[in-house]
Amino acid sequence: MDKAKKSNKKDRSSFEKLCLFILNEHSWCLIFILVPISLGYDLFFKFLKLINSIIGYSNASHEEKLKDVQRQVRHRLDTGDKRPMCTARPGYKSITLQQITYKETCYKININMSNVIDLDTKNQRVLVEPMIDIGTLNDYLISQGWTLPVVPELDELTIGGLVMGGGIETTSNKYGLFQYICTMYELVLPDGSVLKCTENQNEELFCATPFCYGTLGLLTAVELKIIPYKPYLKLTYIPTGSIKEFIHEFEKIVNDETIDSIEGIVYSFDKAILMKGEFVDESVRSSYPVNSIGRWYKEWFYTHVEKFLKKDKEYTELIPTRHFFHRHNKSWFWLLKDIFTNFCNHPIFRYTLGWTLPPKFSFLKFLRHRFVPPGEIDNFICQDFGFELDNLEDALRFVDEQCKVYPLWICPTRHLIPKHLEDYSQFHKDTIHIDVGIYG
């Protein structure tokens, strides 16, 4: 028995060494393992969703599912369980590189809510359940001629996660953070009661719910603003040769109300591209070149943008809006470069297997935590920091001095707080904050 255990331990050790060798020396090989697994995973859960629709649970009304959540919460009270509650959503599905372990000691509540409850085009509102992901919701809205004012990158982000954990996108300069397009939250409180909050009803809870990470209640529904969908984004690339020039150009456009989207990618301390966009109708299609960046054979967006550094002049093109919403999906911004080098961005791979990207984030997270040595994990950063616009130059200098990780993602946001709710916010209404995303 002891010999068998030692043999198994030795085998596991050898396997881990092999995996570590592949990760460090030939990580591009993993794509041929992760892609089939990711495709199989997606097919399995689509099949599972179909089965659920057949047996009826996913067709249950929102009220029925809400009562089921209440039943679970009250059962905890009835049994005297003192553990804190959390959702039963597996930690591996979370879009974060952190290892989610706190749920192992919590009382788990199943919240199987991932449907659109109601679309109200007259009042430009959509009511949804918290587990629906941003990709599914926005695809549905586009099919109806609408979209969200703020569509955070990465399709797997859930509405509940964007409310409880925060969400931002390049249109946040105009519409604010994701929480500012939310008009109502429905919560199940720790005693099992249901409470709805808006800016005029239970307004203190309404303001406290975003960024609370589920500590105030279990989110069961969210009402969101919607806007008419326009098929193209007229995107202008502005290359800059220094951080001062980048910030100068940034300050010039950040208060321009005609601009719908503002984004920056900093490639080094003295080279950056600023992008400004305006959503437009089909009528302007003939006036600019059209770049369908979402096609499977197209290069990664950030490498496409980088080419404009060499042109040293502004360039404008039209990008299909749906493609723009998913522009960083294929490469997970630029994280795939650090995992698989640039192999997946090679033309041969893009034209033959580009349609398979991206691999599931949960699998990448598993490989990282299972096989990468702790020292190497500590040298990797995936974090967004917020700074006021006046401090952006100092922030970029600080990041350069401390970690020298490039590219950096730059995205501005406003805090659009109704006047009667200003006392509940720690932000000044007119302050522009800049998100600096450090991934690598």
* Angle value at C-alpha 334, between 333 and 336, nearest 5 degrees: 110
Task: With beta carbons less than 8 A apart as the criterion, state whether 236 and 314 touch.
Answer: yes
77, 216, 218 from 80: Cα distances, Å: 5, 20, 19
What is residue 5's predicted lDDT score, i.e. its pLDDT? 42
Round to whole Å and give the CA distance between 267 and 251. 19
What is residue 374's predicted lDDT score, i.e. its pLDDT? 56
Burial letters 346-379, b for 16+ CB under 10 A, else e: eeebbeeebebbbbbbbbbbebbeebbeeeeeee
Round to whole Å and give the CA distance between 184 and 117. 13
Note the pTM of the prediction, 2 decimals: 0.86
49, 51, 65 from 58: Cα distances, Å: 8, 9, 9
Gyration radius (Cα) of the chain, Å: 23
What is residue 11's predicted lDDT score, i.e. its pLDDT? 47
Residue ranges of the domains in the chain?
78-228, 232-439
What is residue 58's predicted lDDT score, i.e. its pLDDT? 57
What is residue 403's predicted lDDT score, i.e. its pLDDT? 87
Residues, the chain: 440
Classified by CATH at the fold level, domain 78-228 comes out as 3.30.465
Cβ neighbours of 223 (radius 10 Å): 20
Round to whole Å and give the CA distance between 224 and 220. 14
**Mean pLDDT, the chain cut into blocks of 10 residues (440 residues total):** 44 59 60 72 73 64 94 95 88 66 86 94 97 93 96 89 92 94 97 96 94 93 98 97 93 92 95 96 92 93 94 93 92 80 82 80 64 62 87 92 92 87 74 88
What is residue 10's predicted lDDT score, i.e. its pLDDT? 44
What is residue 80's predicted lDDT score, i.e. its pLDDT? 93
Round to whole Å and give the CA distance between 35 and 114. 25
Q: CATH for 232-439? A: 3.40.462
What is residue 335's predicted lDDT score, i.e. its pLDDT? 82
Residue with tokens 């109601």: 118
What is residue 342's predicted lDDT score, i.e. its pLDDT? 76
Residue with tokens 């998100």: 435
